[in-house]
Structure 1
Amino acid sequence: MGMLPLKKLAAVTALLGGSFCAEAQDSTNDQHKKPQLLKDGKIWLNEDGSNYFKFTLLTQVWVRNTDVNPGSTVNGYAKSNITDIGIRRARMQAFGQIADRVFIYTQVGMNNYSYTADRKAGFFIHDVTGEYEVVRKKLSLGAGLTAWNGLTRYASPSVGSIMGLDAPLFEQTTNDVTDQFLRKLSIYAKGKLGRLDYRLVMSDPMNVTKSAGYSSAISSISNFSPMPANMQFQGYLQWQFLDPEGNTTPYATGTYLGTKKVFNIGAGFQYQKNAMWHQGATGDTVSTDLKHFAVDVYYDAPVNKEKGSAISAYGTFINFDHGPGYLRNQATMNPATGSNTPAVINGSGNGYPSFGTGNLLYAQVGYKFNNNLVGNTTFMPYASIQHASYERLDKAMNYWEAGVNWLLKGHTSKLTFTYQNRPIYEQQTAGNATLTGHKGAFVMQYQVFLQ
């Protein structure tokens, strides 16, 4: 049996104690030491570390002051401004190359736990995936509840490394409608062919009637159809011109803070036959396909490698086709519970029309100052804008954000201070919704990330 029992015991000790890092002695020759079984945050399952298991933890806490949308209420009482504290995300990951060619990935956590949430909200499964590497580096096949998505880079964002306060959530086009916080029941193929990184996915949409606030009422405005769903197909290809990026998990890094030099151009699609429906001019039911296409570009590189300064930039163009007039609001960790003004298209709280049928441009840019700018810390200011021309809006939708990351210890410990500005639309006539003003929010986030 050799050293197998001792190695298993050491691995278990590492799991329980968290700080164990040992060198096992060969029982047949005490003069020769074995490699350590815990290294780089990984529990080694064999001597060279090619088989391993790893755990991570993430916490993001928000403190926020929001000028809420007109007509917003909390428990039926009118409010114009709300200050609240909430847990934006709490996550635990467990994953590893547990045998030759065999990879397993699991993530549990919770999102958007605030004063309006149900008590004792439990962690739920975000991901559970099994994967087999068919051809080394070139082709892996996997299946499960997974974030392997197509369309764009941030259809599957690494939330612990995002540059700004939050990921561009509109790239997750069916978030919590026919999926679970972007995760889908899928089978996928992924890999690298030289500088080409690819992913192709077939997903089984979740029952839309179980999504929050869904109504099966049909009108001239397109909505997700409650009829039995067809499979959804999606893919994303990117050409990596400079340093290659890893694709062990589906999650794309927000910024490397100057530790890599990356330049990628990508393109993607998402398609589902008869995913949508609406009422035609003669009163008949019309089914239409969900069709989205996108291109994007990502650049993240050091400016002065010795001093640690860096720049990060990302841009995308997306053509969304959800059917005629489709529009859906995004209200992240909504601080309000209702609205008494139905004419406001945004809905309550901090909602705004983020998703829709039409064209969208998005850009973000940030600059990391030199390391050790203030003691052992430094800063990374950033700005982003979402500009969309959606069919039901009389003027383009512009949502922008500007802020600064105080990097206390990279992504491991950071404070983010942000101002967000969103447009307000009201349905004043039978035509398109009219832009009537803007509202803002100040947000501070503290992140702790054990990688």
Structure 2
Amino acid sequence: MIQFSRALLLALTCWLGTHAAAAQTPLQIKLSPEGDRYVQFSGLNQVWLRHTRLNPGSQLNGRDMGSHYTDLSLRRLRFQVLAQLTDRVFFYTQFGQNNFNFRSPKYTGAFFHDATVEYALMPKKLSLGGGLAGWTGLARHAAPGIGAIMSLDVPLFLQPTNGITDQFIRKLGLYAKGQVGRVDYRIIISHPMTVSGAPDTTSLPTSRTFNYAHTLPKMQSQAYVKYFFRDGESNLMPYQAGSYLGQKNMLNLGAGFIYQPDAFWALDAAGQTQLHPMLLLGFDLFYEKPLNTHTSITFYTVFTHYDMGRGHIRSLGVDNPASGMDQARVSGPGNGFPIVGTGNTLYAQAGYLFGNDLLGTGGKLQPFAAAQYSRFLALADPMLMYELGLNYLTQGHHGSKLSLEYQGRPTYTTGYNGENQLHSYKGMWVMQYQVSF
């Protein structure tokens, strides 16, 4: 912890000396005098300094890591190109990398996140597109706008197949989107990728617990619909903001789903292969209200029901510093915890944006809190993860933002009766500096 404190002090000193960035305007090449046709460029880098209380038995390349670890990483590095070529033709691509830390493979890792083309049949009301796309159903933050996250990181349980049958939610697919009156909709047909780590498509399940089937993947159908009670928002991109910093007066209700036939398999009582569909349902609310010209409150909540088959549970550690553990545990190594599984989840986040008068011309503070409460069928006890943090914004989300967060997460142990029971809580401190243009 002393090492982390020294690194934190050094990072703060460097940041305070450079935070007064100039006001930002889009980096754009106009293709028409009116500016309605353009090519636009943007980029983002999120650097993490982190101190983690590790899960029991965490290892790195077979060596014990002890009880805690401090590290640096790139949480996200992205470059985007948007091109509105005509009043109907739109092009978008995004290139970058996630979770580059000290144990990442050298000289590799960056890839195309998105590569889509789109045609507006009825401008604003109906556009059709396709490619490698982040358009997804289920809920608002299933496709989060990473440059405008309110909490330090996104609610990853809304990306249940992340890294297994997709690339950070992206899949090859076709989509329809539009806005009709106060209704915003997206409908997607996507082709899941083959299961990561699957030896081949002729292997068979080995237990009665449902896991991803190593069969030829069938198409996913997805949709998400939201209703604007107050201000609307753009659907040019699939990614949705976590906060507008008081620039909008928002109240949205949304609902969505993801469905894939035969996505999971297990052995039945007779030892035969049993297939099971994946059905994910989400219902959410997004609220943001300016209290005056300088302050605002933001609130988001979502309820999900996941049916991924009997006993399915998945633990995940973001940007995990550990590579393995001394024995199998349901929480996983490093900073992992059970995040996705068959069952129900309630998630909420809230934040308050202070005005300029609190810090003079130095920027704005936005404290926030978030929590995920899940009742997974594979766990005997509820799963509760919580986060408390603070954003310091000098140029809004897009420009310079410094964030500090503490996350508390549960660990579980398997008892003699085979039940996965709550064991203890571990903590993680993260400081993030985000610069975007």
**Do both share a fold (TM > 0.5)?**
yes
Paired amino acid for 2:268: G
- Which residue, out of 301, 322, 337, partners 2:308? 322
Q: What CA deviation, in whole Å up to 9, does each residue of 1:312-359 have, x standing for no partner?
A: 1000000001000100111100011221132x2111100000000000
Partner of 1:238: 226
Partner of 1:398: 384
- Which residue, out of 420, 427, 430, partners 1:440? 427
Task: Please give the residue correspondences for 1:249-260 in structure 2 after superposition, counting only pairs within 5 Å.
Answer: 249-260=237-248
Structure 1 distance, partners of 2:286, 2:389, is 20
Structure 2 distance, partners of 1:209, 1:405, is 35
Structure 1 distance, partners of 2:105, 2:417, is 38
Partner of 1:30: none
- Which residue, out of 360, 384, 391, partners 1:375? 360
Q: Percent identity?
A: 44
Partner of 1:55: 41
Contact 1:70 1:341 in 2 (8 A): no
* Paired residue total: 410
1:229 correspondence with 2:214: no
1:103 correspondence with 2:82: no
What SS is found at the alignment partner of 1:250? coil
1:385 correspondence with 2:359: no
Partner of 1:278: 266
Partner of 1:66: 52
1:409 correspondence with 2:429: no
Unaligned runs of 5+ residues in structure 1 are 1-38
Task: Please give the residue correspondences for 1:298-317 in structure 2 after superposition, counting only pairs within 5 Å.
Answer: 298-305=286-293, 308-317=294-303
Structure 1 distance, partners of 2:110, 2:177, is 28
1:449 correspondence with 2:398: no
What SS is found at the alignment partner of 2:358? coil
Unaligned runs of 5+ residues in structure 2 are 1-24
Partner of 2:323: 337
Paired amino acid for 2:352: Y
Runs of 4 or more off by more than 3 Å in structure 1?
209-212, 214-217
1:247 correspondence with 2:232: no
Task: Please give the residue correspondences for 1:187-266 in structure 2 after superposition, counting only pairs within 5 Å.
Answer: 187-210=174-197, 217-266=205-254
Partner of 1:354: 339
Structure 1 distance, partners of 2:331, 2:380, is 14
- Which residue, out of 104, 112, 117, partners 1:125? 112
Give RMSD over aligned pairs.
1.7
- Which residue, out of 137, 140, 143, partners 2:130? 143
Structure 2 distance, partners of 1:400, 1:102, is 43
Shift of 1:373: 2.2
What SS is found at the alignment partner of 2:278? strand
Paired amino acid for 1:232: Q
Paired amino acid for 1:230: K
Larger RCO: 1 or 2 (CA < 8 Å, sep 6+) = 2
Q: What CA deviation, in whole Å up to 9, does each residue of 1:388-447 have, x standing for no partner?
A: 000110111000100100112211111101000000011123432011111001110000
Structure 2 distance, partners of 1:157, 1:271, is 20
Contact 2:295 2:352 in 1 (8 A): yes
Partner of 1:115: 102
Q: What CA deviation, in whole Å up to 9, does each residue of 1:258-313 have, x standing for no partner?
A: 111111000001100111111111111111110011100001121112xx101110
Structure 2 distance, partners of 1:100, 1:244, is 21
Between 215-224 and 164-173, the greater mean CA deviation after superposition: 215-224
Shift of 1:121: 2.5
Paired amino acid for 1:68: L
1:87 correspondence with 2:74: yes
Contact 2:74 2:101 in 1 (8 A): yes
Paired amino acid for 2:125: K
Contact 2:198 2:214 in 1 (8 A): no
What SS is found at the alignment partner of 2:157? helix
Contact 1:218 1:277 in 2 (8 A): no
Contact 2:144 2:154 in 1 (8 A): yes
What SS is found at the alignment partner of 1:160? helix
What SS is found at the alignment partner of 2:370? strand
Paired amino acid for 1:256: Y
Shift of 1:50: 1.2
Paired amino acid for 1:302: P
Structure 2 distance, partners of 1:366, 1:433, is 33
Contact 2:205 2:273 in 1 (8 A): no
1:363 correspondence with 2:342: no
Structure 2 distance, partners of 1:209, 1:153, is 26
1:269 correspondence with 2:254: no
